[in-house]
Structure 1
Amino acid sequence: MYFAALLARTEDGWQASDTELDNVETLTDLADLAREAAVDDDGTVLALIEQEDAWFGVVRLDGEEDPRIYVSNAAVAARSSYGAMLTDELLGQDQDADDELDRLDLDGTEDGEPEAEDDSEVDAEVVPNGPLGDLALLADFGVDEKELLSLDTDALGAIADALGCTDVLEAVR
């Protein structure tokens, strides 16, 4: 089960909103959703995603700049749909190209049935086991690289504490 929230920075602090990810299929979709939550065009918005203490991700948008991404455990996150979206972006993998090749049925199997693969071997070769992304994306808010790397259970709560918006985040949990 996922928990996702958007934190938009305002002049008075942070404003949180619970986020449904049902219609989010790409990082662009997530960025668009986050930008809609921004208080002003140049504002900072953090998209926080967590999957049952297995992994968490932070996507930071500052105005129209490209999103900055951090994932706490890339190998674990890559096994979930939203985590794969983030890790694919960080690793420069194009998910659409993979889908198009799958439709061409180049594997030689009958009726387009995929060959059985051991996903753990594929993930281990492609996706690093551990943190991935921009370790400094929250440094200006008081969460430096060392602290970000030390977060595990209730990571989003710890980030909210550092931002001074624990009550705001808990209100949408």
Structure 2
Amino acid sequence: MYFAALLARTEDGWEASDTELDDVETLSDLTDLAREVSDEDTVLLLIEQEDAWFGVVRVDGEEDPRIYVSDAAAAARSSYGEILLTDEVMGREPGGDDADLDALDLDGTEDGEPADSEDDEEEAGSAGGDAVSHSPVGDRQILADFGLGERELLALHEGEALGAIAESLGAAEILETVR
């Protein structure tokens, strides 16, 4: 189960809105959703999947979105998490050699070898079979100017993280109204 909320910083403070991600298929869709709330102010999309992972997407006006994901491997197994795991966030070269191999969808049976077991497939991680680490990925300074630096962000635990982020922003009560 997912929870997603948009927090928009306005002149009067933070405003929260519950958001549905049913029609979101790309990072561009997420960015457009944030800009619908405010195309000039800072908008944060906070998303979590139960106690597995959480992510923050920050959109400041027309700038490119900034992204942080707490657990890349857990997010990679999630349809919404995959949206956040861009080449840039994962530290890969866009359209690099891995992208060409990914497009081929090789599964090891092309040379007459038997297909691997399900356990082997799970260890391979997500897209393209690249192993994805359970580490945080993305911009660890995404909330530093709001008083939540890298150390504090990395110390957050899934399930409690969004509340802690909202509290550091001074928006805990506002977030709870949409939870």
Query: TM-score, normalising length from structure 2?
Result: 0.81
- Measured after TM superposition, the shift of residue 84 of structure 1 is 1.3
Q: Which residue of 2 aligns with 1:126?
A: 131
Letter in 2 for 1:53: D
Aligned residues: 165
Match runs of 1:36-75 below 5 Å: 36-38=36-38, 41-75=39-73
Aligned Cα root-mean-square deviation (Å): 2.7
- Measured after TM superposition, the shift of residue 123 of structure 1 is 1.4
Choose 118-127 or 160-169, whichever is displaced more: 118-127
Q: Tell me the distance in 1 between the aligned counterparts of 2:101 and 2:16.
A: 35
Letter in 1 for 2:7: L
Q: Percent identity?
A: 63
Select 1:167's aligned residue among 145, 153, 173. Answer: 173
CA 160–100 in structure 1, closer or farther in 2 if over 3 Å, else same:
same
Letter in 1 for 2:121: D
Query: TM-score, normalising length from structure 1?
Result: 0.84
CA 88–97 in structure 1, closer or farther in 2 if over 3 Å, else same:
farther
Letter in 1 for 2:147: G
Select 1:80's aligned residue among 78, 81, 88. Answer: 78
